[in-house]
Structure 1
């Protein structure tokens, strides 16, 4: 939701009056920055250049929070994100392989397949069809 036009959609919930117009632009900027950071949480190893880009996006995000929301306090999670995750990425060469996001994605795929084959009452056949379809999806995505 913080990628593509997601920031604009989320910020539109603030309304249309003059007072919220400045806030809307602030939140669009911060959510866009956050979307850049989120894009590095993929289930793969990162190249050194990607890690440096991630680090720069974290710095930009932190600077924009300070500039755009100077009276807001920084939560421990936000501090960890902008101060410690870049070093973690440099050390481990990944972010997404240790996050829950890939597992959540896998769970969503399996749930869709479960629904797709819900008419199959034979439990063994049901699982076989789900696993075959999952295998096909994996093979297609590898090519």
Structure 2
């Protein structure tokens, strides 16, 4: 269980879509690029051939990475869990920063799903680690690289 990777249902689906794309679209494109580059002659000095082979290596590495993650994932669908107001993996948390007096909402997700521009933060981030287990109206002191920040938990949703 220790090497299980927590993942939301949406995150797992996104990885499946990427895997399908790599296998059905990128692989054939790369094979065609290699075949085309071979026709140009001497492979020792053929930059197109070497670039295509390098791209093939990256693609195959990503395929293996995704397959490993999916086979070792623990998919957690918070919509099927009764909301008791506690911050857990997959929950969406509205926070009030007591210093700046601003509210911000984060969705706590797996490492591969994290995207700060969309307010999806990794469960392994300092903010998420400081929030997990807390409940609505709790105050959490979160230690970040920029210093300690005090957040009040305004709401917790399992959506």
Length-normalised TM-score, structure 2: 0.27
Which structure is higher in helix share?
Answer: 1
Which structure is higher in strand share?
Answer: 2
